[in-house]
Structure 1
Amino acid sequence: MNYESSKRKRPGKQLIVVFTFIILLLIIVFFLFNFNFFETDKYVEVSKTGTDPLTADYDTYHLDDSRENQQIKYGFELFTNTAEYLGPDNPKLERAFSGNNLSCNNCHLQAGTKAYSGMLIGVINRFPQFRGRENKIGTIKERINGCMERSMNGKPLPPNGKEMKAFVAYLEWLNRYAPQDGKVDGTGYARIKIPNRAVDLEKGERLFLKKCASCHGEDGQGIPLRDYAGYLYPPLWGQDSYNLGAGMARVITAAEFIKTNMPYGASYDKPELTDEQAYDIAGYINQKPRPQKANPELDFPDLKLKPVSTPYPPYADNFPVSQHQLGPFQPIMEFYKKEYGLTKNK
């Protein structure tokens, strides 16, 4: 009788042992994965830095609607549809900070992610930075407002306003895979070999009509969007374009942009224009009338730091304004090297 009784109890004890073992195993597995025992710090770092900033996903559509992501999305909207939100004809006049109907995206292509088109990936890590135009170390907010006053021919955004915070949030989001120094292949514009001659305006006009007019119009006034403020292809001169104080108003800077981005579809790897062609087109465009920036004489307090192709005086040299606008630029560069020990490339 006792033998049979113990025999019946034994399976129950075995089940208890089995269940206890399973529970302990699950607890061990939980702690191993929850505290990343299978991952080393080195692996996490490699995974983070292994993402190529030039091929990362920068589509804001994939972001959820958290408060932080809503700010990033608003920054993206401001960047790509600037005229709709900040332009002179937007519904809220208190937001009319831009003086034209361009968008940031017209110069910083593909929402600031295209290489050698003023690409903004990593830009946050490059600020604060010294800029000769102001002759001081400036913040990213000051740089944004520089664009608002020059490329957008407008007025500065409030530094702590909703729009400025959204712009900065978007740039910080673009920055997430950039190296610590912010230096990413494709930053800025690609250098060109500057022709050792003045711009040929006749060649520039012929090339413009052949290569550029189909998008920007023979009159350079672009193609406006049908249902929204802004442009499908922006005007390159006239009252709705960038003003004389913008970087794009400098022939060498404009030529660098044109060489690797124009006509539409061109790239650093597959340019459609030669350096000389880009140079002549840039000179032709920038000889056309455009808005004047207020108080341009206050730019570059140290005149020696002024780029040689800045189209407005004063200068720290005696070369005529026409040569600063159209070249040849090599004699000006040689002067600064000899007189001030400064090497200038634009």
Structure 2
Amino acid sequence: MQNHTHNVFNVAGMASHRFSRAVLTAAVAAISMLGCSQPEPIKQNAPEYGLVTTDDANEDIGTYVLPQDTSIADEPNAEQIIYGKRLLNETKRLLPDNVGASMNCNSCHIAQGKIPLGDPYINSHNFYPRVMPRAGKEVDLTMRINGCFQRSMNGKPLKPESDEMLAMLAYMKWLSQNTPKNQKVNIDNAGKVDESLIPDPVQGEKIYHAQCATCHGDNGEGIKDSRGDIVFPPLWGDESFNIGAGMARTYKAAAFVKYNMPMGIQTKGLWGHGNVLSDQDAIDVAEFFTHQPRPDFAKKDGDWPTVPKPKDARY
């Protein structure tokens, strides 16, 4: 079902460029042409950092409205979408044959893939297929998910037509909320850090024990509950992501850490956006934990076949 706000997005979207950063402006123009009242500007809970919290997102991200999970019940494939949501939250427990690490998809995709700068799924349905530098070829969303299973999960790919893969795709499609295929919601998947900074792993270890060890363990082992389910994922060791994962790269990990960690530092929203650490601190701690022992990735020699590999690649 579409509400009025979703229809407004569709009008705006038809007039926008695929990767426009002015979605809201286009929406206002389109609404004015229709003689409708203009939407109120977005009020962010964290204006100092230019971030959008979950509370903000529940009001509006551009002209895209972050859906409440209760609205899944209105969808004709509600059972499939809910299953996909569960798989992304409980990946290790529900897919033990495919997940080698003690990780869930949402260990890295914050708040069920709904948080800007926390690797959200909001644009995933429309972002693929596309040519990816690491693969050196066009990759669709099914291939991208299976890449995560083999790298971040240190496991095995799902069959493309399996119920599990189709369910995860259904959840991501639902989260796109019928955004036109040639459009992109005006959010950032990840923040940026200054990649000219030189990492200091010695300082990074000190930061880790001060800021990260409470959740991820003194030895990067993570925390499980009494049932053995993952509370906080391990950052190194045999049960962590392998060297082929994006999170094993210093600067990519630093950007994630800077804008999402430590968690719980704000009183509103599902997750505390970071900005506790400076760029240098985030890069230092990322250099420390990404270079700890972790599983190898057997297919690493096939990465970046057409372009130079990034300077922070682990191999």
Q: TM-score range by the shorter chain?
A: 0.7 to 0.9
Q: Which residues of 2 match residues 39-50 of structure 1 at below 5 A?
A: 45-46=7-8
Describe the shift of the 1:83–1:269 C-alpha distance in structure 2 as closer, same or farther (beyond 3 A).
Answer: closer
Describe the shift of the 1:47–1:242 C-alpha distance in structure 2 as closer, same or farther (beyond 3 A).
Answer: closer
Post-superposition Cα deviations, 1:99-153, rounded to whole Å, max 9, x if no partner, equal 1221011100000011111111021111111101211111110000010100000
The residue matched to 1:146 in structure 2 has which SS? helix
Q: How many residues align?
A: 260
Look up the equivalent residue of 1:82 and give its one-letter code.
Answer: T
Post-superposition Cα deviations, 1:28-59, rounded to whole Å, max 9, x if no partner, equal xxxxxxxxxxxxxx998327567834873444
The residue matched to 2:138 in structure 1 has which SS? strand
Match of 1:220 in 2: 220
Match of 2:190 in 1: 189
Max radius of gyration: which structure? 1
Q: Does 1:56 align with 2:57?
A: no
CA distance in 1 between partners of 2:249 and 2:300 (Å): 14
1:179 deviates by 5.5
Look up the equivalent residue of 1:213 and give its one-letter code.
Answer: A
Match of 1:315 in 2: none
The residue matched to 2:255 in structure 1 has which SS? helix
Q: Does 1:311 align with 2:310?
A: no
Match of 1:75 in 2: 84
Look up the equivalent residue of 2:285 and give its one-letter code.
Answer: I
1:195 deviates by 4.3
Structure having the larger proportion of residues in helix: 1
Contact (CA 8 Å) 2:147, 2:157: kept in 1 or not? yes
1:252 deviates by 0.6
Describe the shift of the 1:126–1:43 C-alpha distance in structure 2 as closer, same or farther (beyond 3 A).
Answer: closer
Describe the shift of the 1:287–1:60 C-alpha distance in structure 2 as closer, same or farther (beyond 3 A).
Answer: same
Post-superposition Cα deviations, 1:47-83, rounded to whole Å, max 9, x if no partner, equal 7567834873444344328660100000000001111
Farther-moved stretch of structure 1 (201-210 vs 43-52): 43-52
Identity of aligned residues (%): 35
CA distance in 1 between partners of 2:247 and 2:187 (Å): 18
1:309 deviates by 1.1
Match of 2:208 in 1: 208
Look up the equivalent residue of 1:81 and give its one-letter code.
Answer: E
Contact (CA 8 Å) 1:53, 1:177: kept in 2 or not? no
CA distance in 1 between partners of 2:210 and 2:130 (Å): 40
CA distance in 1 between partners of 2:125 and 2:61 (Å): 14
Farther-moved stretch of structure 1 (47-56 vs 214-223): 47-56
Match of 1:265 in 2: 264
Match of 2:39 in 1: none
Describe the shift of the 1:231–1:311 C-alpha distance in structure 2 as closer, same or farther (beyond 3 A).
Answer: same
CA distance in 1 between partners of 2:5 and 2:205 (Å): 56
Post-superposition Cα deviations, 1:146-172, rounded to whole Å, max 9, x if no partner, equal 101000001110000100100100000
Q: Which residues of 2 match residues 1-346 of structure 1 at below 5 A?
A: 45-46=7-8, 52-53=60-61, 56-64=65-73, 68-87=77-96, 96-176=97-177, 178=179, 180-197=181-198, 199-227=199-227, 229-265=228-264, 271-302=275-306, 304-312=307-315
CA distance in 2 between partners of 1:206 and 1:77 (Å): 36
Look up the equivalent residue of 1:183 and give its one-letter code.
Answer: K
Describe the shift of the 1:156–1:124 C-alpha distance in structure 2 as closer, same or farther (beyond 3 A).
Answer: same
Describe the shift of the 1:211–1:298 C-alpha distance in structure 2 as closer, same or farther (beyond 3 A).
Answer: same
Contact (CA 8 Å) 1:194, 1:276: kept in 2 or not? no
1:217 deviates by 1.1
1:273 deviates by 0.7
CA distance in 2 between partners of 1:205 and 1:148 (Å): 28
Contact (CA 8 Å) 2:260, 2:274: kept in 1 or not? no
Post-superposition Cα deviations, 1:211-236, rounded to whole Å, max 9, x if no partner, equal 00111111111111222x43111110
RMSD between superposed Cα atoms in Å: 2.4
Normalising by structure 2, report the TM-score. 0.76
Describe the shift of the 1:147–1:43 C-alpha distance in structure 2 as closer, same or farther (beyond 3 A).
Answer: closer
Describe the shift of the 1:125–1:69 C-alpha distance in structure 2 as closer, same or farther (beyond 3 A).
Answer: same
CA distance in 2 between partners of 1:193 and 1:66 (Å): 43
Structure 2 segments unaligned to the other structure (5+ residues): 13-26, 28-58, 266-270
